[in-house]
């Protein structure tokens, strides 16, 4: 997912320079800033649930192209 919230409830977008730890806006579980190569010389940033917490969270497979349909290197939110 692209958006998380910080400890004060502020929305933080996954991007270079973002905090490395946030919280899921859906379930409140810790999420970690992850980076992957976008295949075009750049990087894509996204938040991923820490230690695969909360497998039922609706935010895990959001429609941002990084979910299960994102290809072999997809990282589940
Ligand atoms: Zn969640």
* pLDDT, tens digit (0-9, with 9 covering 90-100), for 52-72: 667 778 887 654 444 444 444
* pLDDT, tens digit (0-9, with 9 covering 90-100), for 3-53: 999 989 999 999 999 999 999 999 999 999 999 999 999 999 999 998 766
Alpha-carbon distance values, 12 to 20, 40, 69 (Å): 11, 25, 24
What local confidence, expressed as pLDDT, does residue 4 receive? 96
The rounded Å distance from CA 33 to ligand 1 centre is 13
Confidence class of residue 77 from pLDDT cuts 50, 70 and 90? low
The 8-class DSSP code of residue 68 comes to G
Task: Kindly tell me the sign of the dihedral angle through the C-alpha atoms of 11, 14, 17, 23.
Answer: positive
The rounded Å distance from CA 12 to ligand 1 centre is 14
Look up the pTM and report it: 0.70
The rounded Å distance from CA 6 to ligand 1 centre is 13
The 8-class DSSP code of residue 66 comes to -
The rounded Å distance from CA 27 to ligand 1 centre is 4
Cα distance between residue 73 and residue 58, in whole Å: 21
Domain ranges of the chain: 3-61
């Amino acid at each position: 997912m692209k958006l998380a919230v910080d400890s004060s409830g502020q929305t933080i977008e996954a991007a270079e320079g973002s905090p490395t730890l946030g919280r899921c806006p859906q379930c409140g579980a810790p999420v970690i800033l992850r980076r992957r190569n976008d295949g075009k010389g750049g990087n894509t940033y996204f938040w991923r649930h820490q230690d695969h917490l909360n497998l039922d969270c609706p935010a895990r497979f959001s429609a941002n192209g990084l979910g299960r349909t994102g290809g072999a290197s997809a990282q589940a939110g």
